[in-house]
Amino acid sequence: MTSDNSMDIILVGKGHGKSRAVAINLPIALGLLFFVLGLFAVAAWSGYRVALIEAKAEQPKQSELVADWQTKLDAQKSELAQVRQNVRQQVDALTLRLGDMQGRLLRLDALGQRFVETGVVSSDEFDFSQPAAVGGPEDGMSGDSFTAPQLTDMIDSLARRIEDREHQLRMLEIVSSQKKLENELYVEGRPITWGWLSSKFGYRSDPFTGKRTWHNGVDLAGRDGSDIISVAGGVVTFAGKRYGYGNLVEIDHGDGLRTRYAHAKTIKTKVGDVVQKGQVLAAMGSTGRSTGPHVHFEVLQNGKAKNPETYMRRASR
């Protein structure tokens, strides 16, 4: 370097080892430096622009990919929601069926308990207040849970069994009710809880005149005020005073069969009442044409008097 702020650049040739010196001053050197830096800046800016253009070109492709994935995700969410809805509907349907079956089982339990109370079935054999006794040894395996289709099949099978049992129990109830009704309407037994036969059915000597007269019923003597009971279920068609009978109760048992209970002290029922077998109708007395406390008992079939002793003897069979 020279003393006048200039710079010497030595150029060495390939041949004969010759060299040449070129003098460059400071302003020229600075200009060359800024020129080189400018070239680097232009190259960097050009590279940035190219990268920016390529990024913008790639951006639509990325947006399309994101949109595609979003579409697939929405479809999966929709399918999942539909599956959940189907599961809820199936659970609701099974819940409704189970509720219906529980109601039917409660009715069956009530009907079975009624059979126990009425003696149709034995309470020792059938206890409808307790669950059915079941059991068995374990096989050591944990077992698998039931699938929804298997559970549905089990419920269907149980529903069919319940329907079959309901039909059988309804038939049993009908038969039992008919039998109970027949027993209720079956005229048998004596119209008193205590007493004795004081006058039979048929011809007899009249207690007031002594003449031979026809007696349409039987007389059963007893204690004054004791109970007079119905010998069968029926409907009260007369309850009041009647000439010769005193206080009289008449009951219609159906099929043209009627019974009469006369000379009562007081009457404990009224016309239209539905009475059961053994129900108290009146208190024994001596009203009407009577010589003492007793009940005059008649049985009429289609208006024709029948011998009450025939029906009274039925109870001892």
**Per-residue pLDDT tens over the stretch 105-152:** 777 777 777 666 666 655 555 555 566 565 556 665 556 666 667 777
State the first-to-last Cα distance of the chain, in angstroms, to the nearest integer: 157
Token duo for residue 136: 């068995």
Cα-flanking dihedrals φ and ψ of residue 199, to 5°? -155, 135
Q: Is the pLDDT of residue 206 over 80?
A: yes
Give the best-scoring range by mean pLDDT among 57-71, 154-168, 182-196, 212-226: 212-226
Q: Domain-by-domain residue ranges, the chain?
A: 6-74, 196-316
Specify the higher pLDDT residue, 306 or 146.
Answer: 306
Token duo for residue 194: 């205590």
Q: Which residues contact 171 (CB under 8 A, 6 or more apart)?
A: none
pTM: 0.50
Q: Considering only CA atoms, which of 28, 19, 25, 20 is closest in space to residue 7?
A: 25
- pLDDT at position 314 is 82
Give the best-scoring range by mean pLDDT among 48-57, 94-103, 113-122, 196-205: 196-205
Cβ atoms of residues 188 and 312 within 8 Å: yes
Give the best-scoring range by mean pLDDT among 16-20, 24-28, 237-241, 255-259: 237-241
Specify the higher pLDDT residue, 139 or 30.
Answer: 30
How far apart CA 152 and CA 288 sit, in angstroms, is: 75
CB atoms within 10 A of CB 312: 20
DSSP 8-state secondary structure symbol assigned to residue 313: G
Q: Is 278 left (phi over 0), alpha (psi -120 to 50) or beta?
A: left
pLDDT band at 43 (very low <50, low <70, confident <90, very high): confident
Q: Considering only CA atoms, which of 202, 179, 180, 221 is closest in space to residue 310?
A: 202
Q: Considering only CA atoms, which of 240, 229, 242 is closest in space to residue 189?
A: 229
Q: Give the 3-state secondary structure percentages of the chain, helix then strand then coil, rounded to 5.
A: 45, 25, 30
Q: Is the pLDDT of residue 36 over 90?
A: no
Q: Is the pLDDT of residue 267 over 80?
A: yes
How far apart CA 21 and CA 11 sit, in angstroms, is: 6
- pLDDT at position 154 is 75
In the predicted model, what is the mean pLDDT of the chain?
79
Q: What angle do CA 232, 235, 237 make, to 5 degrees?
A: 120
99 alpha carbon, distance to own chain's centre: 4
CB atoms within 10 A of CB 209: 8
| Multiple choice CATH, 196-316, 2.60.40.10, 3.40.190.10, 2.70.70.10, 3.40.980.10 | 2.70.70.10
